[in-house]
Amino acid sequence: MASISVFGLGYVGCVGIACLAKLGHKVVGCDVDESKVRRIAKGLPTIVERDVDEVMLEGFKAGLISATTSPMEAVSKTNISFLCVGTPNAPDGRLDTTYLMSAVKSIAEAIRSKSTFHIVVIRSTVPPGTNAAAIELIEKISGKREGVNFAVASNPEFLREGMAVADYLNPPLTVIGCESRRALDTLRNLYSTLGSEIVEVEPKVAEIIKFVNNSYHALKVTFGNEIGAICKKLDIDSHSVMNLFCKDTQLNISPYYFKPGFAYGGSCLPKDLRGLNFLAESNQVDVPVLSSIENSNNEHIKRVLNRVQEIGVRSVGIIGLTFKAGTDDLRNSAAIRLAEGVLGKGCSLSIYDRYLNIARETETNLRELNKRIPHLLPLLVKDVEDVVESTSLVIITVRNPEIPELVRKYPEIHFLDLVRMKDPSVETLPNYEGFCW
């Protein structure tokens, strides 16, 4: 049994108290709002939420739940403090951590007089860097050392309102971002009975994942509604369409395509996206999300070109010109647009593409090559090392097994990787740069 204090008795804190008690832990709720404290102290929830009433009452009757307005009392009675304080949007959109840092300050003052190790767990959604700021504030106020006397962990919650108790007790995964092994082991043990995967990450990763999750969820709702609006105009059952869409767990509902890297291209994605946007426009359906996808893709190509300018070289090499590895297909290739952009900025350019070289040698698709890239064909070289030897910057658009050794062999050449080669020994070298990681 752990002894836990929960700061903030709103939605997340209330559910947390009830569920932690359900798991058999002794929990002390703490809040500046006396009315909330009184309710928790009587075993009553502070919110209306499915199942929380009975779970809270069960924990209260077992003698596992109490509450106080005193941070000193809450911290002194426990060895773990969960921060569930609200972090509302400020007028400019940022998350306001004023209330949270006020709670951190109160906890720090209590830690100052403690002789035992104390763990502060941030459950609130916070901007990246909040964990580090909390550590700095606690060290300053308490005079104690992080990792020796206390630790701060970022442990975001993934609760759906209306399903919060069920989600707490059956999470898809448990994310913990912390620099202290001692704290990580304690929290692992705390959550071990839930049965979900426990993932240890850097604090900033744990801090940003909630933003990413909820933004994607918002995107899913909006995407589904835009598809529904188009289908309605075309007298198509949108639910039948989206049910079919969700049956594909190999590409649609899967990790596929979710790797930050370079822009999309090819014969299918650009063509069908434009076709769907045309259907919407021709039927007077405004679809801001669908219509912005191509613009976003174009901006990503511009980011690469801007980075080339920032690096400030005059000779550039590109490895990979087709729209993806394993094909000689050049249709809507983002790499071609990148190559043209590099030339447009006045840089010299050399290109290596294994599959285009095969196509030239076998005269396969030769007419198509001469039609699409007559201005780039003279820049193709036969060997990947020829690109490296003749340039100051090499841009990698496709994975190639020879590249890691070339990065090691040519430390004076800057390698800009757009696809991530997944070679840890290369990623630490000073002449290697991952574009989106």
* DSSP secondary structure, 236-261, as one string: --HHHHHHHHHH-TTTTSSSTT-S--
What pTM was estimated for this model as a whole?
0.90
Query: b/e for 264-294, b at 16 or more Cβ within 10 A?
Result: bbbeebbeebeebbebbeeeebebeebeebe
Q: pLDDT class for 372, splitting at 50, 70, 90? A: confident
Q: Which of 19, 84, 268, 436 is catalytic?
A: 268
| Cβ partners under 8 Å of residue 218, min gap 6 | none
Query: b/e for 333-368, b at 16 or more Cβ within 10 A?
Result: bbbbbbbebbeeeebebbbbbbbbbebbeeeebeee
Q: pLDDT class for 437, splitting at 50, 70, 90? A: confident
> What are the pLDDT digits (tens) for 34-59?
999 999 999 999 999 999 999 999 99
Q: Which helix (H) or strand (E) holds 315?
A: strand 315-319
> Distance between CA 415 and CA 413 in Å, rounded?
6
| Cβ partners under 8 Å of residue 117, min gap 6 | 79, 149, 150, 151, 182
Confirm if 403 and 384 have CB atoms less than 8 A apart: yes
At position 343, the amino acid (one-letter code) is L
Confirm if 48 and 87 have CB atoms less than 8 A apart: no
The closest of 414, 314, 335 to 380, measured between CA atoms, is: 335
> What are the pLDDT digits (tens) for 301-334?
999 999 999 999 999 999 999 888 888 888 899 9
> Distance between CA 263 and CA 338 in Å, rounded?
10
Mean pLDDT across the stretch 8-31? 97
> What are the pLDDT digits (tens) for 258-270?
999 999 998 899 9
Q: pLDDT class for 359, splitting at 50, 70, 90? A: confident
Task: Pinpoint the residues of the chain covered by CATH 3.40.50.720.
Answer: 3-201, 213-296, 301-434
* Residue 121, strand partner residues: 82, 153
Long-range contacts of 287-296, Cβ-Cβ distance < 8 Å, separation of 24 or more: 287/226, 287/229, 287/230, 288/226, 289/219, 289/222, 289/223, 289/226, 290/223, 290/226, 294/270
Given the candidates 3.10.580.10, 2.30.300.10, 3.40.50.720, 3.40.50.800, the CATH classification of the domain at 213-296 is 3.40.50.720
> What are the pLDDT digits (tens) for 66-119?
999 999 999 999 999 999 999 999 999 999 999 999 999 999 999 999 999 999
The CATH architecture of the domain made up of 301-434 is 3-Layer(aba) Sandwich (3.40)
The yes-or-no answer on residue 268 being catalytic is yes
Question: Helix, strand, or coil here: 399?
Answer: coil
Q: Which helix (H) or strand (E) holds 395?
A: strand 393-396
3-201 homologous superfamily = NAD(P)-binding Rossmann-like Domain (3.40.50.720)
